[in-house]
Amino acid sequence: MTWVDEDFQLHDERFEGIIARVIQHEYDHIEGILMVDRINSLRRVLLNRRLNDISSGKVETSYRMIFPQFKKRKNK
């Protein structure tokens, strides 16, 4: 990774392991990339199903969860 600090000093450093993953994750935020943009389509489908189950309250947890309440739209 190459960057310039607040004193305009050039830095060039290689990162590995968890710190490299954290840096990539945060850089992705800056670029508008989400985690789901980096996973394959099958994992994305499975993740979407799991998130839908969580949103609809179809999961059991040992802690209290608050689920969003969506208003139904009337057909016009």
Paired tokens of 71: 């208003």
> Is 60 known to be catalytic?
no
Compute the half-sphere exposure of residue 50: CA atoms within 13 Å on the CB side of its CA. Answer: 6
Domain extent listing, the chain:
2-55
pLDDT of residue 20: 95
Q: Which of 6, 13, 26, 31 is catalytic?
A: 26
What pLDDT was estimated at residue 76?
A: 56
Report d(CA 12, CA 14) in Å as an integer. 7
Q: Which residue type does 31 have?
A: E
Assess contact for 41 and 31: CB atoms under 8 A: no
pLDDT reported for residue 32: 92
Give pLDDT tens digits along the chain (76 positions).
Answer: 999 999 999 999 999 999 999 999 999 999 999 888 888 888 888 888 888 887 777 887 788 877 766 666 666 5
Is the separation of the CB atoms in 55 and 68 below 8 Å? Answer: yes
